[in-house]
Structure 1
């Protein structure tokens, strides 16, 4: 929580400083590619107030993020997503809009590049956010169990080596390849005492079901504690069946 807030404040401060330098101190060289342009293009852009508007865009984005910052201290769980989502929409959308102030010869190309950048950057983020909020589901089948959603897979009961029901989630040290949201951890994370593990965790909900399958460690739970308990009992029963010697 504290680390995330510090990161947000640092981003706000950076945007404010850059915007102030460009807008009020005429540090136009801070704008990507501006310093290498021909002098006549620089003069035309300054006359059109293109670099000044870039500075104003940075300052406006920072102010908007600052207004949203108090959400981090409330019970609203998606404060970080709202703040950084706002930043991306305003910055990328602003660049598309400001293409109209480019020099005429490069205006169309600038608009196309800015639009592509907006789509390429924001499109996957929207997809990942929507997919992650769909979460996951666990299905217990006849010979296997399956966890659906991103990073999900299917595992045979015969490969289960251990099933435990934990009262709380062990410490997660860092994300390797996954989605880490205020309410959800889904994907590959380093877990103290377990190493690289596959997590499907609804945060602030217990208990936690731990499943060891060959060389893979899986942590999963449900928002409904009774459902997690059912998963544990069913998987434990199936695992015990596999270890029983044939009659």
Structure 2
């Protein structure tokens, strides 16, 4: 995570020094596709310093705020920030940048509003999905079924459970097949170092995890961030009468 924060911050900081008044017509997105008549209506002399200062501030602020979140709040929220913050910043960047149109080019202004609208929708979607995925998956037994609700949750018939274990560590995970993954939260399908496909419903790093193995040898690793995994495991044993399972 720290490497990602550093790289992204340096990239945004460096972008500010790429565009100049001389090369803008070749590399500045939007401006390089304008007709010459439209370029004459755009104040590129004032826009280039604005472009540079914006990206310098973006890079520095991303680095500082991300590190504060990482060390003092949560690495997961730092992960959300480095994704959502640039999108929110570019919405402001585009809105503020429209003032450099000298004669109020309505076509360009309309294009700016469309882009801002799309970015805003994407931003809302990312925030919603991230906060939803960070919610704790609850595990309970209903009608002869073990249910793990929430994002990437699952249902297992009690008759299909081969065994349930309380373990001290997770297998080495090498890749994500399909799911959600940040520093402390991992949900979905993943592949282990041994090439085994497993389901993770890990809501937080812990010193104990619950492993559920089905009769067809599917493995589901679970941990809660709101309850003790030991207490959940004990409760499941009582509810399931686990003497019939191989422990």
CA contact (8 A) 1:164 1:232 kept: no
Deviations 1:27-77 (A, max 9, x none): 323322322221222232235734543333222211211222432662431
Does residue 101 in structure 1 map to residue 105 in structure 2? no
Q: 1:60 and 1:48 mapped to 2: Cα distance?
A: 19
**RMSD between aligned residues:** 2.7
The structural deviation recorded for 1:204 is 2.5
The structural deviation recorded for 1:84 is 3.4
| 27 and 76 in structure 1: CA distance in 2 versus 1, 3 angstrom threshold | farther
For 1:70, the equivalent position in structure 2 comes to 67
Q: 2:243 and 2:144 mapped to 1: Cα distance?
A: 11
CA contact (8 A) 2:210 2:221 kept: yes
CA contact (8 A) 1:206 1:221 kept: no
The structural deviation recorded for 1:82 is 2.8
CA contact (8 A) 2:208 2:230 kept: no
The structural deviation recorded for 1:231 is 5.0
Q: 2:173 and 2:88 mapped to 1: Cα distance?
A: 31
| 151 and 185 in structure 1: CA distance in 2 versus 1, 3 angstrom threshold | same
Aligned residues: 238
Q: 1:221 and 1:51 mapped to 2: Cα distance?
A: 50
For 1:228, the equivalent position in structure 2 comes to 232
CA contact (8 A) 1:163 1:211 kept: yes
Q: 1:154 and 1:111 mapped to 2: Cα distance?
A: 46
| 27 and 233 in structure 1: CA distance in 2 versus 1, 3 angstrom threshold | farther
Deviations 1:84-122 (A, max 9, x none): 332221123322332343451324422331222222320
For 2:56, the equivalent position in structure 1 comes to 59
Is there any run of 5+ residues in structure 2 with no aligned partner, and where? Answer: none
Q: Which secondary structure state, in structure 1, belongs to the residue aligned with residue 162 of structure 2?
A: strand
Is there any run of 5+ residues in structure 1 with no aligned partner, and where? Answer: none
CA contact (8 A) 1:57 1:91 kept: no
- TM-score (norm: length of structure 1): 0.82
The structural deviation recorded for 1:146 is 0.5
